Amino acid sequence: MFEGDILTIEEVAKYLRISERTVYDWAQKGALPGGKIETVWRFKKSEIEHWVNDRLSANKPLQAPSVIQLETIVSPDRILFLNNLSRHEALLTMADKLAQLPQIKNAHELANEILRREALMSTAIGRGIAIPHVRLSSVTDLVITIGISRTDIVDFNPLDDEPVRIILMIAAANKQRDYYLQTISFFSARFKKPGFRAELLAAQDAQTAYELLLKSQHNL
C-alpha cells in the first residue's frame, strides 16, 4: 500500500480508514506517533503499524488515548536550571533528579541507558531542544524532568547546529509505549514554538516555568 517508509496525513488516513482531520487532531494531541518537518506532519510506517497492532492485539479501539494532563507528570521540583554543563554532565544531573522519584527502581540502570542511547544517536531535535528518553522494566510509571540551561550546551551535535538550551528527559515503563510517544509529541510540539521557548528560557524560577507549562497545554 505504501510507497515509502514516511507517510503523509492522507496516507495514514487511508490506512486507518478515518478522516484526514482525525489523523491531524490525534497527531496534534500526541496520540498518534508522528512529527513535524517544518509545518508538515509526517509519520513512520513502522510506528503506525505498531500502533495499530498494539490496539488490535489488545482488542482496544483505534482511538486517541486521553490528553496529557501536565499536573500529573510535572511539578516545580522536577524543573532544573543548569549552568555551564556539558551534555554528559547535564544528562547525569537530570537522571539523578529522576532517580529520586519512587517510580525509578534502579538509578544506575537509568543513568546508563540514558547515556547509552545518547552515544548511539544525539537526542537533540533542533531549535535548541533535546529529548533523552528511555523505557525500562525498572520504571513503574512514566516520569519526566525538564532542564533549562542558562548557557549553551554545545556538544549535543544537533542537525541544525543550534546549541541545546532545553532538555526534556522521560523515563517510562516498558508497557507504556503509547503514553511515552504521546508525551514526547506533546512536549516537542510546545517546545518548538519560538515564543514559548523564549518565555521558558527567560523564566527566573521553577514555579514560573511550571506555570508557563500549564498555560501551554491550552494554547497550542
**pLDDT one-digit tens code per residue, 81-140:** 999 999 999 999 999 999 999 999 999 999 999 999 999 889 998 999 999 999 999 999
**Where exactly does CATH 3.40.930.10 map onto the chain?**
70-216
Give the pLDDT score at 30.
Answer: 73
Whether the CB-CB separation of 117 and 134 falls below 8 Å is answered with yes
Supply the pLDDT for residue 10.
87
C-alpha cell at 163: 546549541
CATH architecture assignment, domain 70-216: 3-Layer(aba) Sandwich (3.40)
Checking if the pLDDT of 1 tops 50, the result is no
User: Binning pLDDT at 50, 70 and 90, where does residue 64 land?
Assistant: low
Quote the percentage of the chain above a pLDDT of 70. 91
CA distances from 166 to 10, 13, 20 (A): 32, 33, 32
29 vs 58, 86, 142, 169, CA distance in Å?
22, 32, 18, 19
Q: What is the pLDDT, as a whole number, of residue 83?
A: 94
**How far apart, in whole angstroms, are the C-alpha atoms of residue 21 and residue 19?**
5
Average per-residue pLDDT in the chain?
A: 87
Contact status, residue 87 vs residue 155, Cβ threshold 8 Å: yes
Q: What is the mean pLDDT of residues 156-180?
A: 90
Q: Comparing C-alpha atoms, which of 95, 93, 103, 96 is closest to residue 72?
A: 103
Is residue 29 pLDDT above 80, yes or no? Answer: no
| CATH top class, domain 6-57 | mainly alpha
18: Cβ–Cβ under 8 A, 6 or more apart, which residues?
A: 62
Average pLDDT on 193-205 reads: 94
List every span in the chain annotated with CATH 1.10.1660.10: 6-57
* DSSP conformational letter for 139: B
Q: How many CA atoms lie within 13 A of 142 on its CB side?
A: 20
What's the grid cell of residue 137? Answer: 522494566
Q: Is the pLDDT of residue 160 over 60?
A: yes
